[in-house]
A = this chain, B = another copy of it.
Amino acid sequence: MENTALEQSESPARKGRPRSEKSKKSILKATNSLLLHMSVQELSIEAIAKKAKVGKTTIYRWWPNKTAVIMEALSNQPGMQTPLPTPRNNAEAIQMQLEKLIRLLHSKNGETIAQLFAEAQSDEKAQAIFENNFLTPLIDAMEYSIEQGQKDGEFADRYDVKSVVDILCGPIFFRLMAHPADFNESFMKSYPKEALRLISA
């Protein structure tokens, strides 16, 4: 009834009580709820446990640290997994990726993501989790479109691929973190096209 499929497909035949899906959902929900009122750094595991009506131990058993809980809570939100439509060319692909990124960062979650990025600066475990779940997927997708676009002559090839990623994404994150008040509708609308101009052939 509860496990229609896929969930535990690779369990090597275990005994004992299975993981409580109820507690899991309660923890992720509580995490998202608390993040509406406090920062990543202010959020404590104990607060999550209390809000979720769950033993602190249960959280520590299933997640290595706070960052992991929050990343999973974020990605379990509705609308976080919507794929992009098929682009007609690489410029359009880049533009859609930038628009998606800006939309994400402009939402309430943008602040949380900036804080996760921040936490990653001084915590190696947090760094690894943030990289694997957020940065690397983002960068990989962009690098692919950039490489294709350079081969096809859509983009200038005077910059290496990593630099192009920095040139495209850097300004977005800098604005988000250095002067978030200017991360507004106007910026959201204009930046993706401006950015394309920066790297066009």
Contacts and interface: CB of A to CB of B under 8 A. Distances in A.
Interface string A157-193: 0010011001101111111011100100001000100
A159 B121 contact: no
B167 A175 contact: no
Interface string A35-67: 000011110000000000000000000000000
A141 interface: no
Contacts of A175: 166, 170
A114 interface: yes
B163 A194 contact: yes
Interface centre among A121, A167, A174 (most CB of B within 10 A): A121
Nearest to A178: B135
A169 B178 CA distance: 10
Interface in A98-148: 111, 114-115, 117-123, 135, 139
A198 interface: yes
A178 B179 CA distance: 18
Contacts of A163: 171, 187, 191, 194
A44 to B, nearest CB: 13
Report, as a range, how many residues of chain A touch the other chain.
35 or more
B159 A167 contact: no
Contacts of A191: 163
B171 A166 contact: yes
Contacts of A178: 117, 135, 139, 169, 173
Contacts of A40: 122
Contacts of A177: 117, 120-121, 173
Interface centre among A117, A166, A173 (most CB of B within 10 A): A166
B174 A42 contact: no
A174 B166 contact: yes
Interface string A13-35: 00000000000000000000000
Nearest 4 A-B pairs (CB), nearest first?
A: A170-B170, A118-B118, A170-B174, A170-B171
